[in-house]
Chains A and B, each alone.
Chain A
Amino acid sequence: MSEALFAVVGHPNKGKSSIVATLTEDDSIAISGQSGTTTRCRYFPMSVDSQVLYTLVDTPGFQRARKALRWLNEHNNSLIERRATVAGFLDTYRDTGEYPDECELLQPILNGAGIIYVVDGSVPFGNEYEAEMDILRWTGQPSLALINSQGDGAYEQQWRDVLGQYFQVVRSFNAMSAEFDKRIDLLSTFALLDDRWRHSLELAVDRLKGERQARNQRAATIITTMLIEMVTHVEEQDIGAKIESKTLEPILELQYKNFQRRREEKGRRNIEKIFDYRQLVREESAHTLELADLFSMRDWYLWGLNKAQLTLVAAGASAAAGAVLDAVTLGASLGAAALASSILGGGAAWFYSDKLASVRIKQVLPLGGRTIAFGPSRHRNFPYVILGRALRHLKVLKQRTHAQRQVLSLTESEEAQDLQLEEHWYQSLEQEEKSALDKLMTKLSTGKDILNAQQGIVKLLEPLIAAMDESPKQ
């Protein structure tokens, strides 16, 4: 049988299902701290246009390894027959209910699966592992051991010493935090197990990378579309000739803000769908949305640009000035800069104010009647804030693997701390990229040439998003 098949096996509760969930990006897998969660094998075929390239199998853990080994020893006469003896064991006990877990997990291996043996590097090695490793060796299948540390990995070296005696290859892999490139590395390692599988695994790796790139591009498009729809949104309401428009303004502003919140929410759901998070549980209630509310403006400098950067953008001089002066240095002399920009751009007050957009009253032709309109937003920081928040959400999502079951939390306090530690997304751009982005954002804010701006923003976002897949370099 030459189809690449891998059975993830091991002691109960060591993260077998977690590893499968992470590698297959399938969050429908049952994972729990309770041992014996998985009771039946489950197959995860990796297919491209319905051609299967490899299949992962999640299995239950060993429960009666020593007793099974005893049976094997009692029914075996020579090394040559060991595999046949294991097959005999399966024939004897399959469906008898006596060794349900062993029968279930050994079956795919006898069908030709490569063995992926999972242990936890945060607890010491113990004698109880020996019997199961022996049984696996009896099958004669190619094998690889993964050390998945659920804690600090203090015993990793100890495990390596032991596992090296039993398995061809030993690797560390963290199911909870493996970035995309780590997962791809691991798949490439699987190819080492058997030459016949190398080709299809290489193809699979290539296709998965392509798929990832496509998803990243889709994410960039989704974020950009959301950005444009939010910035250009106008909340309109027909008013008769008589109604006093002043009374409607606050209501309209409220509706405007609600639209924006809903739109942001919808954008996030779309992003989550792209990355196949279907069962994501979010920390949310009717009133407090994750991430501080979009319109808590005191956080705007955190998400979007700070005052110094805004001043540069407002003056339309980020390219020129940025080349000479770093935005931070400029921050010190902010007063002068603000003054300069208000003279140049004539609108500094507008940038620092809390004013989102202005209210207009339109006379509708031809039959009279008036419309009161709130928006589009002309606040220069607004598009940056939207973008900053969207990138943040995407990053948290990407750092999460499909093995994680805890609530997706983007709450305010942690958030603020994390943001302080990390490099601000805008800062991570090159100088030319910054000025290109500033130009595009200006187009959005002023409502000009939006279609071209859209394409430009997507192009700028793609590398930012792709960089999130790489594990941080030490």
Chain B
Amino acid sequence: MDVSDCTHTLSPAKLSKPLDVVVALEWQLHEDERFTARELVQRDRAIGLSLGAQPNSPRDYWLWTRDWLRQLTKKDGLLSDAQNWMNTLHKVLLGLGLLLGMLTALATFDYDGWQRINLLVVIAVTCGLQLLLCVLTLVVMLPARFTRFVPGLPSAQAFLSLLNAGQWTGFITRLLPGWQTSWKTLSQQMRRREYLYSDVKKWIFLWQAQRLALAYHAGLLLTLLLLISFQDLAFGWSSTLTLETESIHRLTRWMAWPWHNIVPQAVPDLGLIDASRYFRIQGQVQAINVEEAQKLGFWWQFIILSILFYGVFPRFILWAICKRQLRQQCRLAIISHPEVERIVSRLSARSVSTRSLEPGETRFDKTQDLALDSLSRNRQFKSLDLSSIDIINWAQIDMSDGELLQLFNQDPEISEAHAAKPIARAGGICTHAEDEQLIKKLSAGACSHTVFALKSWEPPLAELGDFIKALLRANIEQVSLLLVAPPGKKVTGNNYQEWARFVAALGEPALTLLPGSGE
């Protein structure tokens, strides 16, 4: 697939929830692994130009990432597979909650006409237990910076979060079909950044747990309403503890306080409470007259409102907090995501390029090293017969003729004898015309061997090659090159190699590179 395929989507994904953005981001990162950095820069800079002003706050980072993902992710891509799958999971969880609620209702409000439904049990199950669970949830929700100071609290937190219903989603996911493909890749991807997503995960679990609880209550209320509609439920209370009617009244009054103004008929009075008390030992059959039975039915309003206020309402608040927290944590995770930094810079950074767009071309793939006798460079050579050679000082080495002759032959007498025939000059400041003159002169002379004194430190040029070839074509039988070291130094191995390559490249059998040089 080509990168440009990704930029033109028929139906861009909505990505309205931050959690969707997190999921989409991880997907996109997974997808982008196939592209080179250059391709990504190309693709993203194009998108970036459409996004407007430069991002300069963390919020901008979040918005840019979201908008970038909106342009990239396809509705029918693998991402939506993962999302659909996640939705299925949510539905399964909701169904579970609903079922659990219904079962609880059936168990708690189980009334066979013989035995009254014990109000104390109902209150304990629908309000007490729920409030306790809410408090525990709150403990889990506390951020680490508060719990640190209370000894034992962090570990209690860890333990509680294990019991947290949301925690089980991970387990359920494994049992559902479809786990293998998209979702698995995604969760692996996210596990690599455990530190980034640990809080997101915590809030996902908590949020799931609140949804589960809300579904539970929905099931509970629904079943209760059905039971009330199609059955007459007689409530009563009974306890082994010696409880006074007053204390029950106090409890119900406290409980009904939130709605005593709005729904006064749902506040049980002392008479109702007294009438509702029952003792099992008085015998199984306790005659209740119609009026009494009707009166006992009044409880249902109180019970439903209690469930709403002490079961549903706190859960709803917790759910809202969790949702908000989850959104915030998702945003934070995205802003702090190490890759997002890179994405935004790809989107916003001007693409600055200094590299060449065309491939390079070179004469040599690799430096060729000629196998030379390593000693030849260092060996002093003194054996040229000065009377049979012409010497050319190429490109005007800054040495007197006498000094130069010393390099060719160290016998002072011979050097002097040669003084009659001066060293010729070519290259350098001499014009090309003068060079041609010299070639003519040398070929007409008596010697058939020409020796060049060369600056070892300068690279050999093609014009010297031309000159040598012209000499060899004009009666000169042998040409030798002597490398002269820079003032105060020696000829380096690299320089010698460079000249040896030059000689080899010219391919003239009559051309030789003399070993050694003076200092």
Contact = CB atoms under 8 A, between A and B. Distances in A.
A232 B195 contact: yes
Contact of B364 (A24, A37, A67, A365): A37
B456 to A, nearest CB: 10
Q: Which of A62, A66, A210, A217 has the most CB of B within 10 A?
A: A66
Interface stretch (B111-119, B283-291, B424-432): B424-432
* Size category of the binding interface on chain B: 35 or more
A108 interface: no
A364 to B, nearest CB: 10
Interface stretch (B72-80, B180-188, B461-469): B461-469
Contact of A39 (B333, B361, B396, B494): B361
B242 interface: no
A366 B171 contact: yes
A24 B355 contact: yes
A69 B433 CA distance: 11
B354 A25 contact: yes
B432 A70 contact: yes
B390 interface: no
Nearest to B435: A66
A285 to B, nearest CB: 22
Interface residues of A, number: 69
A450 B195 contact: yes
A430 interface: no
Interface in B470-508: 486-487, 494, 498, 501
A24 B356 contact: yes
Interface in B355-383: 355-364, 367-368
A168 B494 CA distance: 34
B448 to A, nearest CB: 26
Contact of B459 (A11, A46, A70): A11
Interface stretch (A88-96, A119-127, A139-147, A380-388): A119-127
Contacts of A276: 355
Interface string A36-56: 111110111111111000000
B235 to A, nearest CB: 37
B194 interface: yes
Nearest to B434: A66
Given A33-B498, A221-B342, A26 B355 contact: yes
Contacts of B338: 221-222, 224-225, 454
Nearest to A211: B352
Given A64-B463, A130-B429, A451-B332, A44 B395 contact: no
Given A48-B352, A210-B350, A29 B360 contact: yes
Interface of A: 11-13, 23-26, 28-30, 32-40, 42-50, 61-67, 69-70, 101, 123-124, 126-128, 130, 207-208, 210-211, 214, 217-218, 221-222, 224-225, 228-229, 232, 273, 276, 365-367, 448-451, 454-455
Pairs A-B, 7 closest by C-beta atoms: A35-B459, A127-B428, A63-B462, A30-B362, A127-B429, A225-B338, A70-B432
Interface of B: 37, 45, 49, 144-145, 162, 167-168, 171, 194-196, 199, 332-333, 336, 338, 341-342, 345, 349-364, 367-368, 395-396, 398, 427-433, 435, 455, 457-463, 466, 486-487, 494, 498, 501
